[in-house]
Amino acid sequence: MKRVLSAVKPTGRMTLGNYIGAIRQFVQLQDEYEMFIFIANEHAITIPIEAKELRQNTKDLIALYLAAGLDPAKATIFLQTDVPAHAQLGWVMTCMSYMGELQRMTQYKSKTANGETGITAGLFTYPCLMAADILLYDAEYVPVGIDQKQHVELTRNLAERFNHRYSDTFVLPEPLMTEVGQKIYSLQDPTKKMSKSEGNGKGTIELLDDPAAARKKIMSAVTDSLGIIQYDPENQPGLANLLTIQSCLTNEPIDSIVNRYQGKGYGELKKEIGQTVYDFLTDLQTKYKEIMASGQIDDILAQGAEKANYIANKKIRKVYKKVGFTISK
Ligand code: TYM
């Protein structure tokens, strides 16, 4: 069985973008692949975050993974910090990377271009830790939204470099992206990604938003003045984003939605999408509350950590030998 690995970092509250671009794919893939899904809590501190908030986000994220349909009987679910090999290989990968290639990472570039101050060294080198995350498990596929594609490509380069410098050690991974929904945009500025770091404004739907408030956000989403319902991301990005959300949450192809709305107005379409989002969040949150109350999270994480450590430790031992850290044979 081929291996798939992915993660979400608990920096903020999960958004509909995280669900559509990533978590939804995890659930779809778990029957066909051997899955490793973790909570990237080491990545979360690349941006300052209070311990209390990190703890809460972490618990929420695990419960949301499960509420979205991730099944611990099929997928190994674990906390990054429960597997020390991530940080260990992360350091080796940091030393395999060049400053220049990290400077070319668009996520980092966009942060520095915005003139943001207080950027940590961790934020700069986090793609090296992400490479370690993936390479430890010989993952062949990494389901992600488009913003993470470049980091998976860097991972391939680092794996190739290591294999070439030492000897064959790592599998070269490929990003896996959904055809529709690789990038969900802000409802208020459809040229920007819907992002958890934006805070819970009108542009972002959080998975734990009050469903009625989320419906309002859809109703007040920015569209355009053309008044024609068609899928044209370039000229009608707001509408295209709404159609994408509806299609991803219902599995109805975009063309079919567009056909149903010929001659109708945006208001009517928004009403349907608002209801879809309302129903989706209501169902997800009911399951989330049950999981939070059930006390099963600790056991799931303990089992996940055991499986993950077994595989990751084998790989790090190999790497330590090849690099020359281990002095006994
Ligand atoms: P993170 O936590 O920023 O995002 C988690 C996943 O959600 C996707 N995503 C989106 N997809 C579509 N539309 C959006 N608006 C949107 N916003 C976020 C992201 O592409 C991602 O797939 N570094 C990673 C976490 C990570 C990881 C890994 C991922 C750490 N180690 C190893 C894969 C493999 C991150 O910051 O994702």
95-151 pLDDT per residue, tens: 999 999 999 998 888 888 877 888 899 999 999 999 999 999 999 999 999 999 999
Residues 21-39 have a mean pLDDT of 97
Atom of ligand 1 nearest to the CA of 145: 20
Atom of ligand 1 nearest to the CA of 139: 34
Residue 13: CATH number of its domain: 3.40.50.620
Residues 78-84 have a mean pLDDT of 98
Task: Confirm whether 184 is domain-assigned.
Answer: no
Task: Confirm whether 152 is domain-assigned.
Answer: yes
135 and 231 share one domain: no
CA 206 to ligand 1 centroid distance, Å: 15
Residue 239: CATH number of its domain: 1.10.240.10
The strand pairing partners of 37, in sequence order, are 6, 77
| pLDDT(20) > 80 | yes
- Whether 111 sits among the annotated catalytic residues: the reply is yes
Instruction: Decide: helix, strand or coil at residue 179.
Output: coil
Is 314 flagged in the annotation as binding? Answer: no
168 and 279 share one domain: no
Task: Confirm whether 12 is domain-assigned.
Answer: yes
Percent of the chain's residues with pLDDT above 90: 92
| pLDDT(306) > 90 | yes
State how far the Cα of 323 lies from the Cα of 105, in Å rounded to an integer: 26
11 and 136 share one domain: yes
172 and 212 share one domain: no
> What was the pLDDT predicted at 302?
98
Residues 6 or more apart in contact with residue 16 via CB below 8 angstroms = 184, 194, 204, 205, 206, 207, 245, 277
Is 17 flagged in the annotation as binding? Answer: yes
Pocket of ligand 1 (CB under 6 A): 5-9, 17-18, 20-22, 40, 43, 130, 133-134, 142, 144-145, 147-148, 183-184, 193-195
| pLDDT(310) > 80 | yes
108 and 242 share one domain: no
| pLDDT(329) > 80 | no
229 and 312 share one domain: no
109 and 40 share one domain: yes
49 and 12 share one domain: yes
Task: Confirm whether 282 is domain-assigned.
Answer: yes
State how far the Cα of 299 lies from the Cα of 290, in Å rounded to an integer: 16
Task: Confirm whether 188 is domain-assigned.
Answer: no
> What total number of domains does the chain contain?
2
> What was the pLDDT predicted at 200?
59
What pLDDT digit, counting tens, does each position of 174-204 carry? 999 999 999 999 999 999 999 877 665 899 9
> What was the pLDDT predicted at 249?
98
State how far the Cα of 217 lies from the Cα of 204, in Å rounded to an integer: 8
Residues 73-88 have a mean pLDDT of 98
* Range of the structural domain that residue 272 is part of: 196-290
- Whether 149 sits among the annotated catalytic residues: the reply is no
> What was the pLDDT predicted at 238?
98
Annotated active-site residue in 196, 217, 270, 315: 196
Position 6 confidence tier, pLDDT thresholds 50, 70, 90: very high
Task: Confirm whether 201 is domain-assigned.
Answer: yes
CA 262 to ligand 1 centroid distance, Å: 35
Instruction: Decide: helix, strand or coil at residue 115.
Output: coil
- Mutate-to-test residue for ligand 1 from 78, 147, 171, highest number of ligand atoms within 8 A of CB: 147
211 and 163 share one domain: no
Task: Confirm whether 244 is domain-assigned.
Answer: yes
Mean pLDDT of all residues in the chain?
96
- Neighbouring CB atoms inside 10 A of 113's CB total 9
Task: Confirm whether 185 is domain-assigned.
Answer: no
Position 220 confidence tier, pLDDT thresholds 50, 70, 90: very high
Q: Measured at the alpha carbon of residue 55, what is the angle toward residues 40 and 280, in degrees to the nearest 5? A: 75
Percent of the chain's residues with pLDDT above 70: 98
> What was the pLDDT predicted at 109?
87
Q: Which residue has the tokens 């992206």?
A: 177
CA 7 to ligand 1 centroid distance, Å: 7
CA 106 to ligand 1 centroid distance, Å: 14
Annotated active-site residue in 59, 111, 307, 321: 111
What pLDDT digit, counting tens, does each position of 151-178 carry? 999 999 999 999 999 999 999 999 999 9
157 and 71 share one domain: yes
What pLDDT digit, counting tens, does each position of 225-237 carry? 999 999 999 999 9
45 and 121 share one domain: yes
Position 13 confidence tier, pLDDT thresholds 50, 70, 90: confident
Q: What is the pTM of this model?
A: 0.96
Is 271 flagged in the annotation as binding? Answer: no
CA 2 to ligand 1 centroid distance, Å: 21
Is 109 flagged in the annotation as binding? Answer: no
228 and 308 share one domain: no
